[in-house]
Structure 1
Amino acid sequence: MSAFNAIGEEREIDRDEYTPGIEPQPTWCPGCGDFGVLKALKQALPEVGRSPEETLVCTGIGCSGKLNSYLDSYGFHTIHGRSLPVARAANLANPGLEVIAAGGDGDGYGIGGNHFIHTARENHDMTYIVFNNEIFGLTKGQTSPTSPKGHKSKTQPHGSAKSPIRPLSLSLTAGSSYVARTAAVNPNQAKEILIEAMEHDGFAHVDFLTQCPTWNKDAKQYVPYIDIQDSDDYSHDIHDRGEAADMAQQAEEALYEGEVLTGRFYVDDDRPSYTQEKQEIGEMPEEPLAERYFDDDYEWETERSYDLLDRHA
């Protein structure tokens, strides 16, 4: 029995199934890198055999938050910075779903930064796509956590005095078991990385460089890019955390000098996911919580926390 009849169904999936029947008019600006994320995701999901009924996309606030409006699947539009806790809950309740969380660099590395750290630390089995355009786009061009030092904006008219956050290094330090960076201008690589991220058992973090031609002209289009797996100038063992950390630091420093290094930085296929860890110590049942709602014979526990509390006088 499955909580959703579609889960595990063997059939061919067409990418057009992810396009809404009445397709909304995108409100992303012409030339926005977010279109590249949407396209890569539509191409990747059928490759991993996931139908719209097997997919849940949780988004935050900002331009990236519109992703599930243009993708015909289950969706949950959360509040600012909160896509990860909602995605975690969904994954724990029904691990049969393909759970994808998405947010911008302000949404994910700013207000949602603490959720990012602890979701990586616990290694929840999901894919996290961060639309990184080094700016707050929807609110019209404020400095974000990834804006380079000296960047001038409405909130920093004299230039940012702060160094940008290093998302790849932070992800590695926090404990992500899959860390990669791709760019909207590299659609083939983006598709391949998203496929790998979704097939990975554990927390897969994809820093997705998305150009913002309206509010961040300094970042250009993140070209020319270099795939570190295909370049003779770069070589590291993606299964070695130390080498991955050195490569991530190099990529983060190079980005603000005009060299865009993309590719896989770290992969740990042996680390158990959070669900597996909890089941190992007996704190989670083998049967997903979602299954119980579809089982008429399941005997629900009658005791609730509010039964243990006295009523207020």
Structure 2
Amino acid sequence: MSAFSAIETKRDVDQNEFTPDIEPQATWCPGCGDFGVLKALKGAMTEVGKNPDEVLLVTGIGCSGKLSSYFDSYGYHSIHGRSLPIARASKLANPNLEVVAAGGDGDGYGIGGNHFMHTARENHDMVYIVFNNEIFGLTKGQTSPTSPKGHKSKTQPHGSAKDPVRPLSMSLSAGSSYIARTAAVNPNQAKEILVEAIEHDGFAHIDFLTQCPTWNKDAKQYVPYTDVQEDEEFSFEVTDRQEAGEMMYEAESRLSEGEVLTGRFYQDDRPSYGQEKRHTGEMPEQPLAERYFDDSYEWERSADLMHRHR
């Protein structure tokens, strides 16, 4: 038996298995939207039948970074904007591991924006949850990349002169193959979208609206919200890149006006980065991580590997 025997073991999973014994109760502020992300993620992993030994959760800095402390699985608490490269390497080394990366809007769309762009472009098979509360919360309320124009904060006391980034449109142009937006106040939709993202083979980006009652009272609770799949006003095909792009622009524009549109916006079934690399023979079929538990494996010298790629 090895450490990999727990992966792809089919058994019933209880949601409470993802609640840690050491720190079972999250300490976010009362009313924080982050509680909704935690609940939805536990429910989604249970629904797809993943147990804690099959999951790696990589987080960044900020209130969202505490997610890995309150979710019992393999976890890695990285530095600002660096959750994605760690998650990418982990997935490439062990493709059978379910990898989830998470960070805030400042972490993901600002400090780690470069990693976001290239992880999406390469279509790495993982889920990326961005806690979008339109503010820097942990550092006490500074303007973030998604703060609306005119928003007053400690760093912009007269109001932000900048338009916010458009995370859905940015994700589409970068190359994400699954893009959705949900909100902490819509737990059923949030869990459904997370289930789809986990089951998707490729880079699944979820812009998760999480209210911050302490430092961003302007955003309130992102209610009322409208599901673009259920409302008759909206009709578009999620597999059509142009239609999806137009719907994303509409959703982002309306959010700035106080109207919240959530749902699935885009899905593309192109091969993931790992699939492409295995197809071309640049990655072995046997996961790299498993070699540590294979006594019969003949290790290659790094110099030989470098020579091969000259």
- Deviation per residue, 1:240-279 (Å, 9 max, x gap): 000000000000000011110000000112x000011111
**Which letter maps to 1:233?**
E
Using the TM superposition, give the Cα deviation of residue 2 of structure 1 relative to its aligned residue in structure 2, in angstroms: 7.1
Partner of 2:101: 101
What is the count of residue pairs matched by the alignment?
Answer: 307
Using the TM superposition, give the Cα deviation of residue 134 of structure 1 relative to its aligned residue in structure 2, in angstroms: 0.0
Partner of 1:137: 137
Partner of 1:288: 287
Partner of 1:39: 39
Using the TM superposition, give the Cα deviation of residue 282 of structure 1 relative to its aligned residue in structure 2, in angstroms: 1.6
The SS at the match of 1:4 is helix
Aligned-pair Cα RMSD in Å: 1.5
Partner of 1:85: 85
- Deviation per residue, 1:275-299 (Å, 9 max, x gap): 1111122211111101111100101
Q: Structure 1's 93 and 263: CA in aligned 2 closer, same or farther, altered over 3 A?
A: same
The SS at the match of 1:154 is coil
Q: Is the 8 A contact 1:7 1:53 kept in 2?
A: yes
Using the TM superposition, give the Cα deviation of residue 82 of structure 1 relative to its aligned residue in structure 2, in angstroms: 0.4
Give the 5 Å matches for 1:4-83. 4-83=4-83
The SS at the match of 1:68 is helix
Using the TM superposition, give the Cα deviation of residue 195 of structure 1 relative to its aligned residue in structure 2, in angstroms: 0.2
- Counterpart CA distance in 1 for 2:176 and 2:32 is 28
Partner of 1:154: 154
- Counterpart CA distance in 2 for 1:286 and 1:303 is 19
Partner of 1:265: 265
**Which letter maps to 1:12?**
D
Q: Is the 8 A contact 1:3 1:290 kept in 2?
A: no
Unaligned runs of 5+ in 1: 309-313
- Counterpart CA distance in 1 for 2:214 and 2:125 is 35
- Counterpart CA distance in 1 for 2:24 and 2:238 is 40
Structure 1 residue 222 and structure 2 residue 222: aligned?
yes
Partner of 2:203: 203
- Counterpart CA distance in 2 for 1:77 and 1:216 is 25
Q: Is the 8 A contact 1:13 1:50 kept in 2?
A: yes
Q: Is the 8 A contact 1:140 1:215 kept in 2?
A: yes
Using the TM superposition, give the Cα deviation of residue 25 of structure 1 relative to its aligned residue in structure 2, in angstroms: 4.2
Q: Provide runs of 4+ in structure 1 moved above 6 Å.
A: none
- Counterpart CA distance in 1 for 2:298 and 2:12 is 37
The SS at the match of 2:207 is strand
